[in-house]
Amino acid sequence: MDKFEKIFDMSFEKAMVFVARPIVILIICKIVVTIVLKILNKIFEKSKLDKGIQGFFKQLIRISIYVIGIIMAAQSLGVNTSSLVTLLGVVSLAFSLSLQNILTNVFSGIMLLITKPFVTGDYIEVSGISGTVTGISLMRTRMRTADNKVELIPNSDVASQRISNYSGETRRRVDIEVSADYKAPTRLVISAIRGVIDKDERIAKEGAYAPTVRLFRFNENDITYTVKVWCENGVYWDVYFDLLENIREAYDDNGIEFSYPHRVVRIEK
C-alpha cells in the first residue's frame, strides 16, 4: 500500500512517469516478441523442422519474453521480485513434476523430429508394432498397421526402443529358405531357383545386389537352400510371395521333390 500512497503524494508528472514505466516495458516486450517471431518464421521457412516443433519453440519463446517483461515491470514499481522469482521457480517445479510423463513425451517428440530416425510414410517396427508412420506429434507417433489398425505410441516409448526402419533405404533384401529332398542334385535345385530369379525383372541382377542361391544346411530329412535377392522397397512383399510360388512350380517342372519327415527301418534276419 505504501507504494500506491506515494503515487498520490507525487506530482502529476512524476506519478505519470511512475505508472508509465511498466506499461512501456510491456509494450517493448510486445514489440520484441513480434520481431523475434518474425525472425524465427524466416529461419523456419528455410529449415526442415516439423510444424509442431516450430510452434512449440515459438510458444516457449513468447512465454519466456513475457515472463521476463512482467518481472521487469514489477521491479520498476518497486516490488521485491526475488520472492516472485522464487515463487515462479516453485510453481514451475511443481508443474513439471505433475506433468512429468507429458513433458517426457514432448521432449522425446522434439528429439524424434530433430534427429529424424523416420519420417511420415516410412514403414517401421517399434515397441513390437509394425506399420506405416502416418504422423508425428509432440506427444505421440501415429502408425497404421498392415491390417489397417491405428496405433498411437507415446514418444517416450518410441525414443527409448529399438527402431527398425524398413523404408530407410531404397532397396531391401528378400531372404527365404527352401528345402529339397536329398535325392535332388544340388546343381539342379540351384539351377531351378536361379531360373525363377532370372525371369523376375523386379529383382536386381548385377553388382553388389546380385542374387545368392546356396546350399545352407543339412537337415534330418531334407536339405535347406538359402535364397537372397534385392528389390525395390515398394515391391518387397510381392517379390517375396511370388518367389515362393514360382519356386514350387519350378520344382514340379524339374522333378524336384520336397521331403517329408520319414524314418528308415532295417530289419535284420
**What pLDDT, in 10s, does the model give residues 137-195?**
778 899 999 899 999 999 888 988 899 998 888 899 999 999 999 999 999 999 999 99
Cα torsion 233, 236, 238, 244 to 10°: value is 160
Read off the C-alpha cell for 177.
529358405
Read off the C-alpha cell for 156.
517416450
What value does the mean pLDDT take over residues 252-258? Answer: 93
Strand partners, 141: 136, 153
pLDDT greater than 80 at residue 97: no
Cα–Cα distance measured from residue 226 to residue 58, given in angstroms and rounded to the nearest whole number: 54
Cα–Cα distance measured from residue 77 to residue 20, given in angstroms and rounded to the nearest whole number: 10
- Find the length of the chain: 269
pLDDT tens digits, residue range 195-204? 999 999 999 9
Nearest to 193 by CA among 259, 238, 253, 260: 253
Read off the C-alpha cell for 108.
522425446
Residue type at 220 in one-letter notation: E
